[in-house]
Structure 1
């Protein structure tokens, strides 16, 4: 079996990064390029894309298969069935730090593809629009390979002003 006959690495990488996120206490998000094959609430689609929280707490019956990501989730209090073809996932990343992986955009000309819109995601750079050779791109935060910039913590105001108070919301 050669590389052209083997299965896609995308579903395996999605599962691995999902596991990495959950093991480290991060919230896994997937960015999806939406077309007719993607079953998501259309009212949440922006510029042809949707970002979905696929954490354990946000989903029910999550299945990260080789062909589809399927789960149930609540949108505005209403339970919805979600089904995303794995080839429409353009990124998976941790909400807290933006680390993850972007995937090549599906090649134009396949049945479920449409023209690529600019990505509205601030932490996830747009994948290349030209046909891909199958390589995977790793995402890191913009600051020096994912490391937070060195900053001093804010100093308390001089004169001892009013103390901050915690308000309990029920």
Structure 2
């Protein structure tokens, strides 16, 4: 079997990074480029992309297959069935530190928004990949840090809730 006949490494890398996140107590997120093949709540799609929390606590019936990522999740209290083709996943990373992996952005399907390539991912030319037609490599760009002197919101003050054991 040559490289052209072998299966994609993307689903294997997604599963490996998911395991790494969960083993280290981190929250795995996937960034997905949305088109007609992606089943997600459209009201949460921005610039043709959606970021999904795929942690154990946020999902039920999670299946990280070779062709699809499938799970059930709640959005604003409503249970939804999510199905994402693996080839539409453009990144998987840990929420807490941003470590993970970005994948080449899939070719835009006919009729899809050309501007949907996303502001959060930048295409850069690959090094040493000659002979491929318009290959793309993506780099995950982290959001800017808050301006210096800005403090995070303080938690509410007052007595802490306590549990009372009843026998």
Tell me the residue number matched to 1:75. 75
Deviation at 1:128, TM superposition (A): 4.6
Q: Distance in 1 between matches of 2:101 and 2:115?
A: 18
5+ residue gaps, structure 2: 126-132, 144-155, 163-167
> What RMSD, in angstroms, separates the aligned Cα atoms of the two structures?
3.2
Contact kept, 8 Å, 1:93 with 1:99, in 2: the verdict is yes
Q: Distance in 2 between matches of 1:112 and 1:74?
A: 29
TM-score of the two chains, using structure 2 as the length reference: 0.74
Tell me the residue number matched to 1:90. 90
Q: Distance in 1 between matches of 2:39 and 2:92?
A: 18
Tell me, yes or no, if structure 1 residue 131 matches structure 2 residue 134: yes
Contact kept, 8 Å, 1:107 with 1:131, in 2: the verdict is no
Q: Distance in 1 between matches of 2:31 and 2:161?
A: 31
Deviation at 1:138, TM superposition (A): 7.2
Deviations 1:15-58 (A, max 9, x none): 00000000000000000000000000000000000000000000
Contact kept, 8 Å, 1:104 with 1:128, in 2: the verdict is no
Deviations 1:70-106 (A, max 9, x none): 0000000000000000000000000000000000011
Contact kept, 8 Å, 1:100 with 1:138, in 2: the verdict is no
Q: Distance in 1 between matches of 2:13 and 2:112?
A: 22
TM-score of the two chains, using structure 1 as the length reference: 0.73
Tell me the residue number matched to 2:31. 31
CA 1:78–1:165: 2 relative to 1, 3 Å: closer
Deviation at 1:116, TM superposition (A): 4.9
Q: Distance in 2 between matches of 1:116 and 1:28?
A: 26
Q: 1 or 2, which has the higher strand percentage?
A: 2
5+ residue gaps, structure 1: 143-163
Q: Distance in 2 between matches of 1:114 and 1:86?
A: 20
Tell me the residue number matched to 1:152. none
Deviation at 1:139, TM superposition (A): 5.4
Contact kept, 8 Å, 2:30 with 2:53, in 1: the verdict is yes
Q: Distance in 1 between matches of 2:76 and 2:161?
A: 20
Q: Secondary structure in 2 aligned to 1:16?
A: helix
